[in-house]
Amino acid sequence: MSDSRPIGVFDSGLGGLTVMRELIKVMPNENIVYFGDTGRVPYGARGRDTIIKYAKQDESFLLSKDVKMIIAACGTVSSVAPHTGALLPVPFMEVVTHAAKKAAEVTKNRKIGVIATPATVKSNAYKMRIMEILPDAEVFQKDCPLFVPLVESGWIDRNDPITVNTAQRYLKGLKEQSIDVLIMGCTHYPVITDIIRDIMGEGVTLVNVGECTAKAAKAYIEAHGLANPNENIGTHHYFVSDRMESFSDTASILMGSSITGSVELVDIDHFKAII
What amino acid positions are annotated as catalytic residues? 74, 186
Exposed/middle/buried for residue 98 (C-beta within 10 Å: 0-12, 13-18, 19+): buried
Contact 149, 42 (CB under 8 A): yes
At how many degrees (to 10) do helices 96-106 and 125-133 cross? 50
Q: How many helices (H) and strands (E) does the chain have?
A: 12, 10
Residue 103 or 186 with smaller CB distance to ligand DGL? 186
In terms of phi and psi (left: phi > 0; alpha: psi -120 to 50; beta: otherwise), the region of 114 is: beta
Q: In whole angstroms, how far apart are CA 183 and each of 139, 141, 214?
A: 10, 9, 16
Q: How far is the CB of 108 from ligand DGL (least distance, A)?
A: 27
Distance in Å, CB of 30 to ligand DGL, minimum: 21
Angle ∠(132,137,139) on CA atoms, nearest 5: 95
Task: With beta carbons less than 8 A apart as the criterion, state whether 46 and 40 touch.
Answer: no
Q: What is the binding site for ligand DGL (CB under 6 A)?
A: 11-13, 15, 41-44, 74-76, 117, 120, 148, 186-188
